């Protein structure tokens, strides 16, 4: 393992000032924030990440879950995934988030993993994690061996000819459906980024995954007030029942009146290059009867633009069924 300088800043301003000296934004940068370490330290051991300076954010006062004045929720960047999943307000009003968090990793990992770290976890593409292999995301311009190689677990939505890596997060799929906002403190001050604007499609620059700039510290995430009476489900399909990433998952937040869907927010996991909010699915549901035929059409709409690779075509049908089943559970469960 390479050597690095370990820094414990006194406050967020000091953390931002140090991180702002990085040449690039956080992911892949030479100066890095460290939260739970379950992604970063993992990748440092593999020499995929080789920061010269590591800034420990764990002592910053960013570990609270609080109600906001407008009836929503403010979640600090260092709140542990397990604490967030078991928070009474999250369990009552944002059940989809609690379910998504509890479906991820293992109990031990969730005790370490933080809200901001989860947002910024890296892909599990095997070529990305192996420095003996080329990878456009790790080393721009070297190529994407996954396209002609092993791609069973990789993405079918949002891919490019340069990268087809899946975003692996469960939490983020629920955050997308809940229309979260990410709050950042940067060298130029604070800013709020709607969840849908935070992640970038790979395009020709898969090494750049988010809109974060050098020095940007995620301080907290806010959720809008929960919709009264909304039904929420996170359904995750994977190769084994626990300690495994999603092959396909669906986060569903819907409201029904008189047998019809009156409001829907839908996001998919395991199939997209970013946590995949689906306006197509939302349009297919809204105003329609809440029944199996509508749910099947919703799945079709969500996957209409999917592009299979050599080994992952099965994900398209899997994701359709996953979404339809999640809607069925939400409306009957
Ligand atoms: C074996 C294994 C299985 C897993 N299974 C799943 C799964 O099924 N589902 C799932 O969703 N996840 C899974 N994970 C991933 C896990 O959820 C993430 O590793 C975790 O959420 C990362 O959080 P962390 O606090 O440990 O981040 P760290 O490793 O500390 O940091 C991750 C990244 O975030 C950056 N960062 C951290 N805090 C901030 C901040 N405040 N501002 C800006 N940047 C910041 C770091 O610089 C780094 O780039 C698994 C991980 C492992 C090791
Ligand atoms: S899919 Fe992306 S992460 Fe995987 S090898 Fe290709 S460029 Fe690298």
N- to C-terminal Cα separation, the chain = 49
Tell how far the Cα of 146 is from the centroid of ligand 2, in angstroms.
6
pTM: 0.98
In ligand 2, which atom is closest to the CA atom of 135? 8
Task: Write the DSSP string, 10-26.
Answer: SSHHHHHHHHTTSSS-S
Closest ligand, as measured to the CA of 167: 1
Ligand nearest to the CA of 54: 1
| pLDDT given for residue 26 in this prediction | 57
Q: What distance in angstroms lies between residue 13's CA and the mean position of ligand 1's atoms?
A: 22
- Using alpha carbons only, give the angle 248, 250, 254 rounded to the nearest 5 degrees: 165
Q: How far is Cα 1 from Cα 44, in angstroms, rounded to an integer?
A: 7
Show the tokens assigned to 192. Answer: 């709020």
Q: Considering only CA atoms, which of 286, 296, 287, 249 is closest in space to residue 264?
A: 286
**Per-domain boundaries in the chain:** 5-56, 231-332
Spelled out in words, what is the top-level CATH class assigned to the domain 231-332? alpha beta
90 sits in which H/E element:
helix 88-93
Tens of pLDDT, residue by residue over 227-283, are 999 999 999 999 998 889 999 999 999 999 999 999 999 999 999 999 999 999 999
Q: Please, are residues 318 and 268 in contact by the beta-carbon 8 Å criterion?
A: no
Phi/psi for 62 (5° steps) reads: -125, 30
- Closest atom of ligand 1 to 244 CA is 8
pLDDT given for residue 179 in this prediction = 98
Residue 122 has pLDDT above 70, yes or no: yes
Report the alpha-carbon distance of residue 16 to residue 272 in Å, rounded. Answer: 31
Distance CA(93)–CA(225), nearest Å, equals 9
Between the CA of 135 and the centroid of ligand 1 the distance, in Å, is 21
Which ligand has the shortest distance to the CA of 31? Answer: 1
Name the fold adopted by 5-56: 3.30.43
- Which pLDDT tens digit goes with each residue over 299-326? 999 999 999 999 999 999 999 999 999 9
């Amino acid at each position: 393992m390479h050597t690095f300088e370990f820094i414990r800043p006194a406050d967020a301003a000091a953390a931002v000032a140090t991180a702002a000296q990085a040449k690039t934004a956080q992911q892949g940068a030479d100066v890095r924030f460290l939260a739970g370490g379950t992604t970063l330290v993992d990748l440092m051991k593999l020499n995929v990440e080789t920061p010269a300076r590591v800034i420990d954010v764990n002592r910053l006062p960013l570990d609270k879950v609080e109600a906001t004045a407008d009836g929503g929720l403010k979640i600090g960047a260092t709140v542990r995934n397990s604490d967030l999943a078991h928070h009474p307000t999250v369990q009552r009003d944002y059940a989809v988030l609690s379910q998504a968090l509890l479906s991820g990793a293992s109990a031990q990992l969730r005790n370490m993993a933080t809200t901001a770290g989860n947002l910024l976890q890296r892909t599990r593409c095997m070529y990305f994690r192996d420095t003996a292999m080329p990878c456009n995301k790790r080393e721009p311009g070297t190529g994407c061996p996954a396209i002609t190689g092993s791609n069973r677990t990789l993405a079918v939505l949002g891919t490019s000819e340069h990268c087809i890596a899946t975003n692996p997060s469960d939490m983020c799929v629920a955050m997308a459906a809940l229309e979260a906002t990410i709050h950042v403190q940067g060298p130029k001050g604070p800013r709020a980024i709607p969840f849908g604007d935070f992640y970038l499609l790979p395009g020709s620059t898969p090494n750049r995954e988010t809109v974060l700039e050098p020095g940007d510290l995620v301080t907290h995430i806010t959720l809008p007030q929960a919709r009264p009476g909304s039904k929420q489900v996170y359904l995750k399909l994977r190769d084994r029942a626990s300690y495994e990433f999603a092959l396909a998952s669906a986060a569903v937040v819907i409201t029904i009146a008189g047998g019809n869907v009156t409001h829907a927010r839908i996001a998919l996991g395991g199939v997209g290059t970013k946590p995949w909010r689906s306006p197509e699915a939302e349009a297919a549901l809204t105003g329609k009867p809440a029944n199996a035929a509508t749910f099947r059409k919703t799945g079709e709409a969500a996957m209409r633009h999917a592009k299979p690779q050599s080994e992952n075509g099965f994900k398209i049908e899997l994701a359709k069924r996953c979404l339809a089943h999640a809607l069925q559970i939400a409306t009957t469960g």
